Amino acid sequence: MGTDSHAAGLLLRRASTLHLQTGNLLNWGRLRKKCPSSHREELRDCIQKTLNEWSSQISPDLVRELPDVLECTVAHAVEKINPDEREEMKVSALKSECLPTCFVFIWCPAKLFIVGSNSSSMRSAVEMACSALGIAQLDSVIIASPPVEDGVNLALEHLQPYWEELENLVQNKKVVAIGTSDLDKAQLEQLYQWAQVKPNSNQVNLASCCVMPPDLTAFAKEFDIQLLTHNDPKELLSEASFQEALQESLPDIRANEWVPLWVLRYSVIVKSRGIIKSKGYIIQAKRRDS
């Protein structure tokens, strides 16, 4: 079935919010044409493929309803965690060698990239991820450094509203542990001293730092903060890139009306085997002036 760009355009002109979910990328198979060279390219590819697949399957009932919130997803790629398995998969301080051999330990971490400056979006991001995976909570959420104005250095005051939202999610048992990304020793120390729920991890981009800074390593060791590495770009998804992906997939829509708020990337990992069982992206976007 071909892409029904006209129906998609009509829906997007009436809706105020777009939720785009890729489902499990490992289930895409036939949708893939090439291996992406970067996370940015992978995400853009996911946006376009998801829009194409979704718009080709729009039902007449959906067009008649004209919902305010559009749920755009690749239905055949959706994969929830088996609830019977998840009940056994407790996140605890137990070491793997203490577990029975039949125990399957699944870890569900996520990384949240804020595109628009709205800390209240974090709850909806986590809730949507839990719903997509069919689970009650995420094991870990790492927040990428929130956007700041050009020429402004990231400070504690920029992080505070986002961290408070993460702390609420921990207190409400929607998230087990929370972490940061790309904080230097001074920034991490300020956050640690201020926060009620302490960061349990900090990601370091080795593209800009070939070895872990000694002061950061010493501080993390003293306060039991795990240092991780990553190769995510500073800006995973820009407003312009999102609009270009929309326009290329659905030429009939007014893509410049849509602004992405956040991107959440999640993984489901079988830790006992070191394999990725599932991974995907969830994006929320708003129509301007809606």
Structure tokens at 102: 């039949």
The answer on pLDDT for 42 being more than 70 is yes
> What pLDDT does residue 82 have?
73
Rounded distance, CA 94 to CA 97, Å? 8
pTM of the complete model: 0.88
pLDDT tens figures, 91-110 = 322 233 333 333 456 788 89
Count of domains for the chain: 1
pLDDT in tens, 181-197: 999 999 999 999 999 99
Q: Give the domain extent around 75.
A: 5-287
Looking at per-residue pLDDT, the higher value among 40 and 75 belongs to 40
Helices (H), the chain: 5-14, 39-55, 60-65, 83-88, 121-133, 156-171, 185-194, 214-222, 239-249
Q: At what angle do helices 185-194 and 214-222 cross, to 10 degrees?
A: 20
